Amino acid sequence: MGGGRWRGRLGPAVAVSPGARVGRFEIFFDLVFVFSFFIITRATALNPSGTSLLHALLVLAVLWWSWVVHSVVATRVRLGEGFVPVLMTIAMAALFTFALSLPQAFGDPRGNAAGPMVAAVSYTVIRIIHLSLYLHAVRDSPVERRQLMRFAPELVGSTMLLLAAALIPPQLAGLASAALLRDGLWATVVVLQYSTGLIAGTWGWGVASAEHWTERYDLILIIALGESVISVGVGSNLLGQPPTWPAVAAAVLGIFFTAALWWVHYDVIGPAARIALHAAKDGPRVAMARDAYAYFYLPMIAGIILFALGAEQIVHQIAAPNVPIHESAHHSAEALLFGGVICYLCGNMLFQFRTLGTVSWTRVGTVLLLAGCIPVAGVLPALVSLILLTVICVGLVAAEVVVFSESRQALRALVFEERSSHEANEAAYRARWHEPERDEPST
């Protein structure tokens, strides 16, 4: 009764309409994901070893799955309307706590279990809130409720495995066996989550607004790219020392190659994929939304975090006053920088193939070139390695602008026509609000 009263006062949940755009509360919620990406990068930067990178990718995969579930809920209810913002604020607090606990989630498994427990409990709260909202949204649809039950084993299994990863390893005597068990439980969570998304299928689901779905994921990718800019700024350390020309040059190069990677997706591929998702209907639309956006965005996000780590280390070395400018960077930094860009481009090519059915030879060639440059960059001065990467990324953009100029122009003409038609329809609909009411004929 009390819950019904406060829901009545705040207003009911509002369904997402076809053609809806991303709401402001959703962008507000994304601020916590900004912090989560930042924490993952910062925790890994403290000790960029192979083990810490594995832990970062495991955490990112679990975090990304919560984002996918979050975006699915947002396809059914407006997160900023009615009583929903109250629950989503609680979810934000839980996600914030989850992010804060991540640096301790993979500490000494035989030590204090507070960090892993906080991570597990916070994650459970997030999932319960998402489940409650979706159950409320589909309460009148038996078909969707049955489909939702297909995800029950994943929800229960994920939360129980994370709790087990927090409670069982501290009871083991051996450090190696405790760490192996903990990492294995986290890896099992990842396998369970992403395999469930494939096994459950698309029956019973729907993407009411392709515009909302694509815009939602495009915004989170920009947020991740923003994290790479932050990493370059942190690495430059210009706030703590007088600026030098190598430090300024490295910071500028970091902005240039990050902007080139933004261009790679948002110039043609992103807008064309949005149109392709609009054109798809029913099951094929849901399958495309799942594969291209929920799954293939993950290697793009992972690639951004990896090259952000490499860029931070290299820029920090270049900006250090006691390091000679001709000294080469650590091999791990070069591998992270070039390997992260390769991961990002491969994820983007998978996205392109799934949505458009094409693969650009320019990108295949760029990936092969980057892979061949990794050993070369390891012996070059750090600043020269950064210049080499920037030239390759900017060169890719320049080549595609020239080679695919006709396709780019045709796409822009199509988008302009679509926007013009949409604006005309909206203006015609809203013009009715200003029409004077006609008096009823007198009798």
pLDDT tens track for 157-172: 999 999 998 888 877 7
- Note down the domain range covering 303: 207-427
Residues 11 and 140 in one domain: yes
Q: Whole-model pTM?
A: 0.88
Residues 126 and 93 in one domain: yes
Give the contacts of 166 (CB within 8 A, at least 6 positions apart): 113, 116, 117, 119, 120
Three-state secondary-structure class, residue 222: helix
Q: Which tops the pLDDT comparison, 242 or 49?
A: 49
Task: Look up residue 168 and give its two tokens.
Answer: 């069982």
Residues 254 and 185 in one domain: no
Residues 182 and 170 in one domain: yes
Tell me: pLDDT of 257 over 80.
Answer: yes
Residues 184 and 212 in one domain: no
Within-domain flag for 434: no
Q: Which tops the pLDDT comparison, 257 or 417?
A: 257
Residues 194 and 222 in one domain: no
Work out how many domains the chain is built from and give that number.
Answer: 2
pLDDT digits 0-9 by tens, 110-141: 666 677 888 889 999 999 998 888 888 887 77
The pLDDT value given to residue 203: 64
Q: What is the mean pLDDT of the chain?
A: 84
Residues 7 and 149 in one domain: yes
**Rounded Cα gap, residues 272 and 292, in angstroms:** 13
Tell me: pLDDT of 1 over 50.
Answer: no
Within-domain flag for 342: yes
Within-domain flag for 281: yes
| Region at 244 (left for phi over 0; alpha for psi -120 to 50; beta for the rest) | beta
Mean pLDDT of 337-361: 95
**Boundary (domain end) residue, out of 176, 205, 234:** 205
Tell me: pLDDT of 93 over 60.
Answer: yes
* CA proximity to 189, closest of 89, 93, 64: 64
Within-domain flag for 21: yes
Three-state secondary-structure class, residue 115: helix
**Rounded Cα gap, residues 45 and 305, in angstroms:** 10
Residues 52 and 178 in one domain: yes
Confidence class of residue 150 from pLDDT cuts 50, 70 and 90? confident
**Rounded Cα gap, residues 312 and 328, in angstroms:** 15
Confidence class of residue 239 from pLDDT cuts 50, 70 and 90? low
The pLDDT value given to residue 26: 83
Within-domain flag for 105: yes
Mean pLDDT of 375-389: 89
**Rounded Cα gap, residues 112 and 217, in angstroms:** 36
Confidence class of residue 272 from pLDDT cuts 50, 70 and 90? very high
Residues 182 and 225 in one domain: no
Tell me: pLDDT of 443 over 70.
Answer: no
Residues 197 and 220 in one domain: no
**Boundary (domain end) residue, out of 155, 186, 205:** 205
Residues 343 and 379 in one domain: yes
Rounded percentage of the chain residues whose pLDDT exceeds 70: 89
Within-domain flag for 288: yes
Lowest mean pLDDT among 119-128, 274-283, 311-320, 363-372: 311-320
Q: Are the C-beta atoms of 19 and 82 separated by less than 8 Å?
A: no
Residues 129 and 238 in one domain: no
CA distances from 247 to 14, 214, 239, 379, 386 (A): 50, 37, 11, 20, 12
pLDDT digits 0-9 by tens, 298-311: 999 999 989 888 88
